[in-house]
Chains A and B, each alone.
Chain A
């Protein structure tokens, strides 16, 4: 019996019949997962990872079609079952954890409702028994005070806690297989590590097989036993984790692994610069931002007001000309708020931002000069480009608004900018949706460069991108920095990216800058506990033996 794998997939083919012809999303995918084993499925977006999971659990989005192949669950064939039989199997024998814990729970029902409902669907239990089981599941998943919080609504939990609830839901009926589709990509590193541990512990204790889908090799390295690399709907390579990461056989795997930034210093360290040697180009002094936490005047009159929330608390640092300052921290630490104040988008409650000798918020005459000299690149290239505008127009807008060029000169400049970000100038006639994520981020960079700025604030510029694309975009940013002497403020939750890109780094924790200094010094000898905790939580390929 132990020889039968829990999940066995053979020559799976999934087609999407589209108007323009058939799109083969999965082409001959085969793999096995044994009981208690964790199979990590990696690949870039569009590789067919999630599609494989959806096909196994029978939740392909229309018009997707299961064209050929076989899926066996503990020896029984399940791809031929009727929809009703398949539905009885979901949750009971195959559990699923989805990517975004913020949206995968129904916001209008308490977590207890959702757990009890799932448990009673699959097990013959009374309401009270189901509730008891729900509480013990939550406790196992590491929710403190599970009994007291079972009647809370999803929005009352943080992202990491919600993902624990989702995991508890997935294993509620002791399934044989859990499909975890990017279970930690939406979470902070420190939370990510805890959630991975919860998932691994729970599944190991129950002998549950896990199919872990992720684009993050670090996560796989931490938890998986075997690894399956996918690309363009096919399996590229399968093998034990250490073997695939240390000695990848296929070109694609080699390329994928080499493009992952590592937190350890690779290559040459930048020449050490004595503190204060370069003149400070950007100076941030005692920056504070309070947000009104709501309530309004009536609440205040009635004495029920909420004190303002201090998002950024007394942050000071300096960036030398042509250098990169990295700002790291978890979500809610005030990184983006800092970025916006420095870029001049929101007004600080207190403090000064001096760029090239001009106080961004004091000198009103400086506003125009600032708009030219300071630009910003945003996180999500899908949302930061106007979908109704042509690319040429998007890039030309700052030039036009600031009056930097006229007539046909504008077009020449746009073409020039596109060439600088390694895009063909012909694309200026196209719309943003015709581009991939990486290309869009290049367009965003071109737009930022169009006003010939000296300082660019980059707010998570690569976190929405695949690793190989991330590497390209980061390379491009470095090249442009060398070429134009740009100064960057690079904000990221990805410590590896910061290590590769930045000269100096600051660590933000709840709005306070807990540590700031040269990147190598801080990463190799962190002083603050928080920094140490962040660094420890990062899964790293270098740790694999």
Chain B
């Protein structure tokens, strides 16, 4: 177990180094940082002085090393646009994105797994057909269209829910949460549904396919032959086996929910890192972009690590290798 985790950690570090390298290359070579920082009327000597002070004349590896050590201390440079540390900008916006991602991921997971099980067990029922057909809509409609559609129905026509922003938020330490006020929760509903819809249909279809596969397997037949009731077979034996591959895909999907909430955040004017990223791209705010890239990399690597450990816990075949044989 220890070796397993250590090996995975080691691989994670390598992945993060590669991500850092790419972030650094963007930071350093997409446009000249001095040109971005200095105004039109800065004298050439001053520009050269800035170059010296920022170490831009140092060899490549020295600069990369400095970038790395700064990054480890949370220092990604100053946003060109807002003149604030890029890291702080991201951290300010992060709670909004995480709250949105967690709610929609939970929604996707719970509903997706439940509907997946239902459609697998009652494959021929009318309701399954309806769910399967609707899920095609969920997979094929682009996120922004779903978002705009929901806004039109529930915010514009019915006027039940707010169409944008986070509503009233409460500051808890550095974390700004929308969970504690009614308007915050109401604001969360539409974007969360929008963001979760695609994942939900994906998880549902995956669970359904896996479950149907497992239900055909020998040990399920044998469980029936042992006279176990359907409830035990379906929810104890089949479900646990279904979840093994589902964990992997779901984990990766969760990563993309956090990382790529960009579209949803833009549609709903959600003050998260996604919308920050979009405005930064428009303003060529390279430090923020590089920081965002590092953050997304970290999210994916962490989730992958957690998924691997979960896998290890669920499947005993991975736990004890070579023993008893």
User: Is there contact, CB below 8 Å, between A156 and B323?
Assistant: yes
Which candidate, B48-56, B172-180, B223-231, B291-299, is the interface stretch facing chain A?
Answer: B223-231
User: Is there contact, CB below 8 Å, between A108 and B315?
Assistant: yes
User: Is there contact, CB below 8 Å, between A299 and B232?
Assistant: no
* A89-B227 CB under 8 A given contacts A104-B219, A105-B219, A105-B222: yes
Which candidate, B2-10, B57-65, B151-159, B245-253, is the interface stretch facing chain A?
Answer: B2-10
User: Is there contact, CB below 8 Å, between B237 and A109?
Assistant: yes
B43 an interface residue at 8 Å Cβ cutoff? Answer: no
In angstroms, Cα B278 to Cα A268, docked, is 86
A295 an interface residue at 8 Å Cβ cutoff? Answer: yes
User: Is there contact, CB below 8 Å, between B317 and A107?
Assistant: yes
Which candidate, A90-98, A322-330, A498-506, is the interface stretch facing chain B?
Answer: A90-98
The chain B residue with its CB closest to the CB of A298 is B7
Interface 1/0 per residue, A395-409 and B, CB below 8 Å: 000000000000000
The chain B residue with its CB closest to the CB of A300 is B3
User: Is there contact, CB below 8 Å, between A106 and B219?
Assistant: yes
The chain B residue with its CB closest to the CB of A92 is B227
In angstroms, Cα B229 to Cα A294, docked, is 40
The chain B residue with its CB closest to the CB of A152 is B324
* A96-B241 CB under 8 A given contacts A104-B218, A105-B219, A153-B317: no
* A98-B222 CB under 8 A given contacts A89-B227, A117-B232, A122-B227: yes
Interface of A is mostly: loop
User: Is there contact, CB below 8 Å, between A87 and B218?
Assistant: no
User: Is there contact, CB below 8 Å, between A90 and B219?
Assistant: no
> Which residues of chain B have C-beta atoms less than 8 A from A91's C-beta?
225-228
A304 an interface residue at 8 Å Cβ cutoff? Answer: yes
Closest approach, in angstroms, between the C-beta of B141 and any C-beta of chain A?
A: 34
Interface 1/0 per residue, A102-120 and B, CB below 8 Å: 0111111110000001100
| B interface residues, Cβ below 8 angstroms from A | 3, 6-7, 10, 217-219, 221-230, 232, 237, 240-241, 244, 314-317, 320-325
| A interface residues, Cβ below 8 angstroms from B | 57, 59, 87-92, 95-96, 98, 100, 103-110, 117-118, 121-122, 149, 152-153, 155-158, 166, 169-170, 172-173, 293-296, 298-299, 302, 304, 306
User: Is there contact, CB below 8 Å, between B241 and A107?
Assistant: yes
The 10 closest A-B pairs by CB, nearest first: A91-B227, A156-B324, A96-B225, A90-B227, A103-B218, A91-B226, A153-B316, A104-B222, A106-B219, A118-B226
Given contacts A88-B227, A106-B237, A296-B3, 11 further A-B contacts (CB under 8 A): A87-B229, A103-B217, A107-B315, A108-B244, A108-B316, A109-B237, A109-B240, A117-B232, A153-B320, A155-B320, A156-B325
The chain B residue with its CB closest to the CB of A169 is B226
User: Is there contact, CB below 8 Å, between A98 and B221?
Assistant: yes
User: Is there contact, CB below 8 Å, between A96 and B7?
Assistant: no
User: Is there contact, CB below 8 Å, between B219 and A107?
Assistant: yes
The chain A residue with its CB closest to the CB of B2 is A302
> Which residues of chain A have C-beta atoms less than 8 A from B218's C-beta?
98, 100, 103-104
> Which residues of chain A have C-beta atoms less than 8 A from B321's C-beta?
294
Most buried by A among B3, B10, B232, B314: B3
User: Is there contact, CB below 8 Å, between B241 and A298?
Assistant: no
> Which residues of chain A have C-beta atoms less than 8 A from B226's C-beta?
90-91, 95-96, 118, 121, 169-170, 172
In angstroms, Cα B320 to Cα A155, docked, is 9
21 sample A-B contacts, Cβ–Cβ < 8 Å, listed by A number: A57-B225, A59-B225, A87-B227, A89-B227, A90-B226, A91-B228, A95-B225, A98-B218, A103-B219, A104-B218, A104-B221, A105-B219, A118-B226, A121-B226, A153-B320, A155-B324, A156-B324, A166-B222, A294-B321, A298-B10, A299-B3
User: Is there contact, CB below 8 Å, between A155 and B223?
Assistant: no
In angstroms, Cα B227 to Cα A90, docked, is 4
> Which residues of chain B have C-beta atoms less than 8 A from A105's C-beta?
219, 222
> Which residues of chain A have C-beta atoms less than 8 A from B221's C-beta?
59, 98, 104
Closest approach, in angstroms, between the C-beta of A34 and any C-beta of chain B?
A: 22
Closest approach, in angstroms, between the C-beta of B153 and any C-beta of chain A?
A: 42
The chain A residue with its CB closest to the CB of B318 is A155
User: Is there contact, CB below 8 Å, between B224 and A294?
Assistant: no
User: Is there contact, CB below 8 Å, between B3 and A121?
Assistant: no
> Which residues of chain B have C-beta atoms less than 8 A from A89's C-beta?
227
Closest approach, in angstroms, between the C-beta of B167 and any C-beta of chain A?
A: 44
In angstroms, Cα B226 to Cα A92, docked, is 8
In angstroms, Cα B322 to Cα A89, docked, is 38
Closest approach, in angstroms, between the C-beta of B1 and any C-beta of chain A?
A: 11
In angstroms, Cα B241 to Cα A110, docked, is 13
> Which residues of chain A have C-beta atoms less than 8 A from B316's C-beta?
107-108, 110, 153, 155
> Which residues of chain B have C-beta atoms less than 8 A from A157's C-beta?
324
Closest approach, in angstroms, between the C-beta of A56 and any C-beta of chain B?
A: 11
Closest approach, in angstroms, between the C-beta of B181 and any C-beta of chain A?
A: 43
In angstroms, Cα B314 to Cα A59, docked, is 30
> Which residues of chain B have C-beta atoms less than 8 A from A156's C-beta?
320, 323-325
User: Is there contact, CB below 8 Å, between A106 and B225?
Assistant: no
The chain A residue with its CB closest to the CB of B320 is A156
The chain B residue with its CB closest to the CB of A302 is B3
Closest approach, in angstroms, between the C-beta of A94 and any C-beta of chain B?
A: 8
> Which residues of chain B have C-beta atoms less than 8 A from A110's C-beta?
316
> Which residues of chain A have C-beta atoms less than 8 A from B3's C-beta?
295-296, 298-299, 302, 304
The chain B residue with its CB closest to the CB of A166 is B222
The chain A residue with its CB closest to the CB of B317 is A155
The chain B residue with its CB closest to the CB of A158 is B325
Most buried by B among A104, A121, A166, A170: A104
Closest approach, in angstroms, between the C-beta of B212 and any C-beta of chain A?
A: 13
In angstroms, Cα B240 to Cα A100, docked, is 21
> Which residues of chain B have C-beta atoms less than 8 A from A96's C-beta?
222, 225-226
In angstroms, Cα B75 to Cα A442, docked, is 69
> Which residues of chain A have C-beta atoms less than 8 A from B324's C-beta?
149, 152, 155-157
User: Is there contact, CB below 8 Å, between B228 and A117?
Assistant: yes
Closest approach, in angstroms, between the C-beta of A51 and any C-beta of chain B?
A: 14
User: Is there contact, CB below 8 Å, between B240 and A108?
Assistant: yes
> Which residues of chain B have C-beta atoms less than 8 A from A122's C-beta?
227
> Which residues of chain A have C-beta atoms less than 8 A from B10's C-beta?
298
Closest approach, in angstroms, between the C-beta of A323 and any C-beta of chain B?
A: 36
Most buried by B among A59, A91, A155, A295: A155
Most buried by B among A100, A117, A149, A172: A117
> Which residues of chain A have C-beta atoms less than 8 A from B315's C-beta?
107-108
In angstroms, Cα B3 to Cα A296, docked, is 10
> Which residues of chain B have C-beta atoms less than 8 A from A298's C-beta?
3, 6-7, 10
In angstroms, Cα B45 to Cα A119, docked, is 88
> Which residues of chain B have C-beta atoms less than 8 A from A90's C-beta?
224-227
In angstroms, Cα B225 to Cα A122, docked, is 12
The chain B residue with its CB closest to the CB of A304 is B3
Closest approach, in angstroms, between the C-beta of A308 and any C-beta of chain B?
A: 12
Closest approach, in angstroms, between the C-beta of B89 and any C-beta of chain A?
A: 38
The chain A residue with its CB closest to the CB of B6 is A298
In angstroms, Cα B214 to Cα A326, docked, is 39
In angstroms, Cα B222 to Cα A104, docked, is 6
* A121-B225 CB under 8 A given contacts A156-B324, A157-B324, A295-B3: no
> Which residues of chain A have C-beta atoms less than 8 A from B224's C-beta?
59, 87, 90
> Which residues of chain A have C-beta atoms less than 8 A from B217's C-beta?
103
Closest approach, in angstroms, between the C-beta of A330 and any C-beta of chain B?
A: 14
In angstroms, Cα B219 to Cα A3, docked, is 36
User: Is there contact, CB below 8 Å, between B225 and A108?
Assistant: no
The chain A residue with its CB closest to the CB of B240 is A108
